[in-house]
Structure formats: C-alpha cells, structure tokens
Amino acid sequence: MRLVSMVLCCSALLSLASQSAAVFSAEVNVYSARQEELIKPVLDEFNASTGIRVNLITGNADELITRIASEGRNSPADLLITTDVGRLYRAKQQQLLQPQSSELLQQAIPAHLRDEAGYWFGLTVRARPVMYAKGRLSEADKAELSDLTAERWRGRICVRSSGHIYNQSMVAAKLAHDGTAATEQWVRGLVQNFARPPRGGDRDQIRALAAGVCDLAIANTYYLAGMINDPRDQQAAASIGVYWPEQDGRGAHINISGAGVAVHAPNPAAALQLLEFMLGENAQQWYAEANHEYPVRPGVAYSEALQSYGDFTADTLPLERLGELNAEALRLMDRARWR
C-alpha cells in the first residue's frame, strides 16, 4: 500500500510540475507594424493578467508579411498586427493567416470592420477627414471630398504621396462607391489642386497647413490629436479644424488597425486569447486615450481630443473592399501622376 501511495504521490507531483511548466512556458509571438510604445503597454497588461509571455517584433508591415512568408512552416509568428486593412488583406491573399471563430470578437467588432471568414479583425478605427486652417477658412467652406476638384481649391490642398496605403485605401473606397471613371476624374482634379508635390507624412501636411502652405489637408485625426499633446506642435495643431465630409451620404472614410492569427502559429490559442484581450473594454479605452484612435468596440469613450472634433457618421463599406481594390487604386493614382 505504501508503494502504491508513493507512486500516486509522485505521479501527482509530476503532473503538477508539468502543468506549472506549461503555464510558465506559455507565450505568444507578435509581429507588429505598430511602434512599440503604441502597443507594448497593452501587451504588458496581458502578460500580467494571464501569465502568458509576449515576444514582440516590430517593423514595416510589408517587411513583416514578407518575413512570415519566407519563414514558412517554421515561422514563430503567432499574431500579425498592422496599421491598415490593406496589409491584412495582402496577408490573407498570400495565405499567411488562419481563420478564427470567436463569439467575443463577433460581438465586439461591427461586421464591416472584420473579415467575414474570420481571417482578420479590426482593433481600432482610424478616420481620415478634411482639415482646414481656422484663421483662413471656416467649417462653412464645406470641403466635401467631391468638391476638392473645384477651381476654388487650385493650389490649396496638401496630402501625402500615393505610395502610402492610407491614400490608396481612400481612393479604393471611392472606387467601390463611384466606379473607375468617376474616381479617376476625381483623382486627376485633386492632383491639379495640390499646393505642392506630396512629401512627408500626415503630420507634415498638418504643419504645412498651419504654416500657410495650403488651406486644406487630408490626414488622419490621431496625428492631429497627438500634435495637440506635443509641446513642439501644440501651436500649429491648435490652428487646425476638422471637417467631416460625406455626412449626408456615405459617411467619412475610415480605416483600421487590425490583426490576424498567423497560418503556422505555434501558439494559436494564446494568439486568439491576446486578440480577444485587445478587444476588451480596458484595452480599447487605453487605445482611445493613449493613441487617440476610435475604439472598434461600441460604447467605449473617445479621448478628449477626439471628442473635440465632434461626432461623425462613418462609411460602413466592408473594409475587405479596400484590399480588393488596392491595385486598381494605385494604378489610377499613377496615371493621374499623384506621386
């Protein structure tokens, strides 16, 4: 009897040790196109609440996608995080993501902000309205996107290059709504009204707007909100107003930051757990306050800066269409000499 008891005792200890080792060794490998400071606090909180270690690799989205593809079945990537839907669509088309079924994600994320088959999911919403110089224009000068080709805006518009996927997605959305002929005419008219050849990022367009280089700019709101909280840019940002176009029609153009579970993820359960964590109310609130991005999850409050820009109606076009039409949008922009 003593021998049996000892065997049972040893078996129990070995089982407990095995479970402890499994918990201790639990990890998830994240390939993120988001800068470390814009995501690590959420990952640290996930580690603290679950005990799952997060290994973070950051880099350019296209380079990370290429890396996953080249690593093949040996890729350590569990979760791919990007800053736009276009890259998620590319990863899906290259069969680098695997579908996930999660009731929590389906309930937390509106249908047009996630892949219908579960390959990728929106984490935050990024709005791209028209911005104007308060001292020179008022909101009454309504700058609808369709109006940006008008003669009165000749030499008065700043926007970054066509090489950036934010603009490609904006044009892709217009293609989805208006078709090729109307969209190409609009792009050619917009290019004619540029105040200068496109250069720099969204912050550079906002700075140029404040400096009087142009009277309108197209940029994402989180850049402006970040500038308002940056002593170096506060004065410039304070002189800028936000106009929400298309409020009587399709709604303002939006994009997302989002994520998908890698096709050969060694830790798929942990990856899904992290994805669900990032859609929790606490993580969504942190994104809203720290990064000034609109929460995907309904009911989560915006940051004070975003609230100051007012409520708006967003385009509900399924974001999958932005990926599907990306190549056509880029060809169209090249023909119009949007550089």
Q: Is residue 96 part of a domain?
A: yes
Structure token digits, residue 75? 């890729």
**Are 183 and 237 contained in the same domain?**
yes
Q: Is the same domain home to 329 and 207?
A: yes
Q: Kindly state whether residue 7 falls inside one of the protein's structural domains.
A: no
Same-domain check for residues 237 and 195 = yes
CA 89 vs CA 32, 47, 104, 122, 189: distances in Å: 15, 28, 22, 12, 29
| Residues 148, 189 within the same domain | yes
Say if residue 47 is in the same domain as residue 116. Answer: yes
190 in the same domain as 324:
yes
pLDDT at residue 283, as a whole number:
95
- CA dist 316 and 297 (Å) reads 15
Residue 44 falls within a domain, yes or no? yes
Output the pTM of the full model.
Answer: 0.89
Do 81 and 222 have their domain in common?
no
Q: Same domain, yes or no, for 319 and 239?
A: yes
Which tokens hold the place of 151?
A: 């003669």
State the angle between helix axes of 180-192 and 326-335 in degrees (0 to 180), rounded to the nearest 10. Answer: 50
Identify whether residues 49 and 159 lie together within a single domain.
Answer: no
Q: Are residues 161 and 276 in the same domain?
A: no
CATH number at residue 174: 3.40.190.10
> If you ran DSSP here, which 8-state letter would residue 280 be given?
S
| 31 is an annotated ligand-binding site residue | no
- For position 50, what pLDDT does the model report? 97
The residue range of the domain holding 102 is: 28-125+256-302
Tell me what pLDDT residue 20 has: 37
The answer to whether position 167 is within a domain reads yes
**What are 205-222's pLDDT values in tens digits?**
999 999 999 999 999 999
Is 17 a member of any domain?
Answer: no
Strand (E) or helix (H) holding 127: strand 121-127
- Give the SS3 label for residue 236: helix
- Look at residue 14 and tell me if it is in a domain: no
Q: Give the whole-angstrom CA distance, residue 267 versus residue 100.
A: 13
Tokens of 179: 């078709």
User: Does 23 map to a domain?
Assistant: no
State residue 309's pLDDT score.
95
Which pLDDT does position 139 carry in this prediction? 64
Domains of the chain: total: 2
- In this prediction, the residues of the chain whose per-residue pLDDT falls under 70 are 1-25, 139-140
Q: Tell me the per-residue pLDDT of 95-108, one tens digit each, with 9 for 90 and over.
A: 999 999 999 999 99
Task: Evaluate whether residue 288 is within a structural domain.
Answer: yes
Task: Indicate the DSSP class of residue 87.
Answer: H
Q: What is the pLDDT of residue 178?
A: 97
Q: Are residues 217 and 292 in the same domain?
A: no
Diameter of the chain measured on Cα atoms: 97
Are residues 260 and 192 both part of a single domain? no
Q: Is residue 81 within 8 Å of 123, Cβ to Cβ? A: yes
